[in-house]
């Protein structure tokens, strides 16, 4: 007997399926093949670290979705998806990393059996390789394919109340992580020792919320290395005279609340204090602009003004939607908070407002995970001072 522990009630999955089906209708596709692990989990509940082999979810206009993957992972699917066991299909292990056969040949047989004619595929997803598509095309010569990249992702944008509850849990974990590292970082402490405690705090979680693994590992470059946004860590010690940014996220049942703060050990130079002041002013202006009815670009423009006044020109977008995610990204890959994105903001959209400063030889990150409210400025998921912390 399998006891399932689904993260959401069936009404929530019904809502999601209906949203995606409406998008499929607009696109004129009869079958959607979903490879993004976040989309698979959002539609079916599937949860497992098996995305290193080909797998996916098949959704058509009628009937429940089908989870399809490696046979051994079908056992995991039967334990984590809301559908009946009949809607879980596994392929034999000799398809795995073979040079003679490809799992997509097996999938093609299922799609044929289902009468799929016009198939949407997530062309620009990590887990839909060029080879996977080539094999699908050659195995289904009569099918028509359309690019359905981000079709599901766009439907994930506005969060339901149960989803927001999970993100609030994640935010409590994010706060705990930041509190802990601000206390522990000292000159001479090896970086990996601090990361060890970050992970411990993240996975222990908080009262009532066990910690899941975040879709991105902690990022925490120091000094001139903070010019690079995506460096991880090593065993060298923190040093006096350096700023370090900490980019982390608590995670609860795959939902994230990314949160970044910076810490300076010693006396920060004036240029960094001016940058901090401009960045905080920009964040506050951005939060004011992050209102239902405004556009994504309004946030980016509000942020840019005080930064530019301080002589800081950022080339990068300043945020992205967040929620349910699997590695390698905790963003939803739809809206970008940048001056060219005119997407209208809606209540319960959630973003990582992420105006990282990565300059020639220094860096600074002070960010907020936010929710667009019914009216008024954005609500921040975390509640910690919006500043560069300093330990003299």
Asked if residues 157 and 21 have their Cβ atoms less than 8 Å apart, the reply is no
Among 196, 274, 376, 383, binds its own copies (CB under 8 A): 196
Give least dist CB 56 to its own copies, A.
13
Measure the CA–CA gap between 71 and 63, rounded to whole angstroms: 22
Torsion of CA 201, 204, 206, 212, to 10 degrees: 100
Closest CA to 358 of 319, 316, 302: 316
Task: Kindly write down the DSSP assignment for every residue of 252-302, as one continuous string.
Answer: ETTEEEEEEEEEEES---HHHHHHHHHHHHHHHHHHHH--TTSBHHHHHHH
Among 21, 50, 165, 379, binds its own copies (CB under 8 A): 50
Instruction: Provide the pairing of β-strand 118-121 with 255-265.
Output: unpaired
Size, binding site for its own copies by CB under 8 A: 87
Nearest to its own copies of 183, 383 (CB atom): 183
97 near its own copies, rule: CB under 8 A: yes
274 near its own copies, rule: CB under 8 A: no
355 near its own copies, rule: CB under 8 A: no
Backbone angles phi, psi at 337, to 5 degrees: -75, 90
Closest CA to 31 of 136, 90, 115, 88: 115
Within 137-166, the residues that bind its own copies by CB under 8 A are 147, 149
Q: Which stretch binds its own copies (CB under 8 A): 46-54, 110-118, 179-187, 280-288?
A: 46-54
Give least dist CB 337 to its own copies, A.
11
235 near its own copies, rule: CB under 8 A: yes
4 near its own copies, rule: CB under 8 A: no
My answer on whether omega of the bond before 71 falls inside 30° of 0, hence cis, is no
Nearest to its own copies of 156, 291 (CB atom): 156
Within 77-96, the residues that bind its own copies by CB under 8 A are 78-80, 92-94, 96
Measure the CA–CA gap between 345 and 363, rounded to whole angstroms: 29
327 near its own copies, rule: CB under 8 A: yes
15 near its own copies, rule: CB under 8 A: no
The radius of gyration computed from the CA coordinates of the chain, to the nearest angstrom, equals: 22
222 near its own copies, rule: CB under 8 A: no
Q: Which stretch binds its own copies (CB under 8 A): 191-199, 265-273, 287-295, 300-308?
A: 191-199
């Amino acid at each position: 007997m399998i006891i399932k522990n689904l993260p959401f009630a069936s009404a929530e999955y019904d809502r999601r399926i209906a949203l995606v089906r409406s998008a499929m209708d607009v696109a004129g596709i009869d079958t959607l093949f979903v490879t993004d692990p976040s989309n698979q989990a959002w539609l079916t509940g599937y949860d497992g670290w098996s995305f290193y082999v080909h797998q996916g979810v098949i959704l058509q206009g009628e009937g429940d979705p089908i989870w399809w993957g490696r046979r051994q992972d079908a056992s995991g699917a039967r334990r984590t998806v809301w559908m009946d066991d009949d809607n879980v299909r596994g392929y034999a292990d000799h398809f795995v990393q073979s040079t003679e056969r490809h799992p997509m040949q097996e999938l093609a047989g299922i799609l044929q059996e289902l009468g799929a004619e016009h198939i949407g595929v997530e062309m620009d997803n990590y887990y839909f390789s060029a080879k996977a598509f080539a094999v699908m095309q050659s195995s289904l010569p009569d099918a028509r394919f359309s690019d359905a990249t981000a079709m599901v992702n766009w439907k994930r944008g506005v969060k339901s109340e149960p989803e927001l509850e999970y993100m609030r849990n994640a935010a409590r974990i994010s706060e705990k992580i930041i509190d802990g590292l601000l206390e522990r970082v000292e000159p001479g402490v090896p970086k990996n020792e601090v990361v060890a405690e970050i992970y411990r705090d993240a996975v222990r979680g908080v009262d009532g919320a066990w910690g899941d693994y975040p879709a991105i590992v902690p990022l925490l470059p120091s000094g001139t290395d903070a010019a690079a946004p995506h460096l991880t860590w090593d065993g060298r010690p923190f040093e006096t005279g350096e700023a370090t940014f900490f980019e982390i996220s608590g995670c609860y049942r795959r939902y994230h609340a990314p949160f970044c703060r910076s810490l300076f050990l010693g006396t920060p130079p004036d240029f960094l204090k001016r940058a901090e002041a401009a960045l905080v002013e920009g964040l506050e202006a951005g939060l004011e602009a992050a209102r239902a009815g405004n556009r994504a670009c309004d946030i980016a423009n509000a942020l840019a003004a005080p930064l530019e006044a301080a002589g800081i020109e950022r080339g990068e977008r300043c945020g992205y939607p967040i929620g349910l995610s699997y590695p390698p990204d905790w963003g939803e890959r739809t809206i970008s908070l940048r001056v060219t994105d005119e997407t209208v903001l809606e209540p319960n959209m959630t973003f990582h407002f992420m105006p990282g400063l990565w300059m020639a030889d220094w860096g600074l990150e002070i960010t907020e995970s936010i929710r667009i409210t019914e009216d008024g400025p954005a609500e921040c998921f975390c509640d910690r001072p919006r500043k560069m912390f300093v330990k003299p």
